Amino acid sequence: MPILYVKFRPVDAFVCKTVFMRILQLTTFDANSIVAAIKQFDIDNQLDLQKMVMLTSDAVMLGKNNGVAAILCQDVYIYQNTALLT
């Protein structure tokens, strides 16, 4: 099950914070289901996906064509290091 952490820098601080947010409950474990759950989580928590600057994952989710990162990149501009998406 995907575990979501959010790393952010509060406006009044110089140090970033990492906070555990949620374990996503999924009924299917494909990339599209994970992306849908991440997007719904962001909507529910009023997070702007366009401000996402990093996605950390295991290799399965980083598939070059059909992985979570590739699908998210279709909707959100994320700097892609193509060497990582192999």
Mean pLDDT of the chain: 79
Tokens of 33: 């289901």
Q: How far apart are CA 23 and CA 13, in angstroms?
A: 27
Is residue 86 pLDDT above 50, yes or no?
no
> What pLDDT shows up at residue 60?
61
- Give the model confidence (pLDDT) of 37-69 as tens digits: 888 888 898 888 777 767 777 666 777 778 888
C-beta separation of 26 from 36 below 8 A: no
